[in-house]
Amino acid sequence: MEKEILEHGFNFNRRRFLSRLSLGLGSAALGSLMIPDLFGGNSTDEEGLTPGIPHFAPKAKRVIYLFQNGAPSQQELFDYKPKLREMLGQEIPPSVRGTQRLTGMTANQASFPLVGSFVNFKQYGQSRAWVSDLFPYTAKIVDDLCIVKSMFTEAINHDPALTFLQTGSQQGNRPSMGSWLSYGLGNENKNLPNFTVLLSRGIGNGQGVYSKLWSNGFLDSIHQGVQFSKGEDPVLYLRDPEGMDRHARRDMLDNLAELNDLAYQEFGDPEITAKVKQYEMAYRMQTAVPEVMDLSKEPDDIIKLYGPDCLVPGTFAANCLLARKLSENGVRFVQLYHQGWDQHGNLPFEIAKQAKDVDQASAALVTDLKQRGLLDETLVIWGGEFGRTSYTQGKLTADNYGRDHHPRCFTIWMAGGGIKPGMVYGETDELGYNIAQNPVHVHDFQATVLHQLGLNHEKLIFKHLGRRYRLTDVSGKVVRDILA
């Protein structure tokens, strides 16, 4: 052995070789304990990357996405534009509007009068960020937020825009962001799903949400989002059938696993093993889910922080509190959808109600995570699918107006997870119609989220039907200016 080693030019003797070998075996054993699927052979094709292992050291471990379904108007919330008030009722200049296509709801308007926000703004925090009076609680945490005012998208209607943000494609039938994270990072808690979905609804026009938004697409079904509801059974079909106890369920699952293993050996379909994993997950969730959903043990100061609505199942506040509990229990991606932001008319009344629904609880979630020491490892995102026009849709009156869809610019905020706090990134023009500085495309946003969780968006690839797919399709760049 020593002779062979010396012949190849390595300055090792037998003792040193065996010592190094023992260290290597120990490291491999530790790796297999920490990541059970490490040596499972499920690496991606050409890249040789193993699902379940970050590509580099992550800044965040988990994501909570507070999706404001229907597209909140940035002019009433974060993008302060006093020039719009000065030009109230005047036509939007052709040089500003350009050749942008319009929706069918305003394409036939003869006039496009500008309208400023009915609500006042103030600057807050060391960042001096402008925040609307509709968001008094959010205003208190601006120094924890990175407010991005220069988001833009390609879709002009809700379904494709929403699907684009969640899956990277306007057509659907692709894995959602949560599914990609589940595939790329694996489980942190074997008793809960990697990807959960919570729904709530405000008073305004409710654009629908649909299961394709949390679909696993062409990934194994174990990566599909699991919807939690406000009813007696938060996860459907989780309970044992009447007449079956837990021991009988265990025996049934063991026998079913044996039959499925025989089927897998014969057909080799990976979906067979995915189904077995789902059955096992459901069995473990029977204990874990009721414990997570139980809010009765939350202290009074937490209830006060989120507001009394957090004790009402199905409200946005209750879902924010549940999101914190799910996240701290290791769920990788918690997706909230709050419907009702589609204010084509009657905007002043409806957006005020919507803002009241979400303001306290959104700020409470960031504060709660921060005081528990979890904000640094949890990326919180707040925003909708596109923005709203600077001109009014329909008739403009002294106290009422509406705004149409606007993909050219909109605002989101991010907090924690290695994102710079107390920062405002990007700017729109003085009428809030076009981006003036630092544009951020949807694929750039998605690439940045993946990056913060230790995933290279160009290498997180799944080969399907002869094509290599990824969340960011064939574009996207990490927005490094907002990284801490």
**For the chain, how many structural domains are there in total?**
1
With respect to residue 174, please indicate whether it lies within any of the assigned structural domains. Answer: yes
With respect to residue 80, please indicate whether it lies within any of the assigned structural domains. Answer: yes
- At 225, the pLDDT band (50, 70, 90 cuts) reads very high
The whole domain housing 400 covers: 60-235+298-468
Q: What angle do CA 286, 288, 293 make, to 5 degrees?
A: 100
What is the CATH number for 355? Answer: 3.40.720.10
* Environment class of 280 (CB within 10 Å of its CB; exposed 0-12, middle 13-18, buried 19+): middle
Instruction: Give the tens place of pLDDT for each residue, 372-425.
Output: 999 999 999 999 999 999 999 999 998 999 999 999 999 999 999 999 999 999
Instruction: Give the tens place of pLDDT for each residue, 12-62.
Output: 555 655 555 555 556 555 555 555 544 444 444 445 456 678 999 999 999
Buried b (16+ CB within 10 A) or exposed e, 303-331: bebbbebbeebebbbbbbbbbbbbbbeeb
Pairing type for strands 195-201 and 333-339 reads: parallel
Res 235 pLDDT > 70: yes
CA distances to 79, 331, 417 from 191, rounded to whole Å, are 42, 10, 24
With respect to residue 345, please indicate whether it lies within any of the assigned structural domains. Answer: yes
Instruction: Give one DSSP letter per residue of 277-338, joined into a string.
Output: HHHHHHHHHHHHHHHHH--TTS-HHHHHHH-GGGGSTTSHHHHHHHHHHHHHTT-SEEEEEE
With respect to residue 292, please indicate whether it lies within any of the assigned structural domains. Answer: no
Number of H-type helices and E-type strands within the chain: 13, 17
Res 204 pLDDT > 70: no
Average pLDDT, the chain: 87
Q: Which residues contact 347 (CB under 8 A, 6 or more apart)?
A: 73, 76, 118, 400, 401, 402, 403
With respect to residue 40, please indicate whether it lies within any of the assigned structural domains. Answer: no
CA distances to 19, 22, 36, 270, 360 from 29, rounded to whole Å, are 16, 11, 10, 26, 47
Measured in Å, how far apart are the chain's first and last C-alpha atoms?
50
With respect to residue 286, please indicate whether it lies within any of the assigned structural domains. Answer: no
With respect to residue 253, please indicate whether it lies within any of the assigned structural domains. Answer: no
Global pTM? 0.85
Instruction: Give the tens place of pLDDT for each residue, 115-127.
Output: 999 999 999 999 9
With respect to residue 8, please indicate whether it lies within any of the assigned structural domains. Answer: no
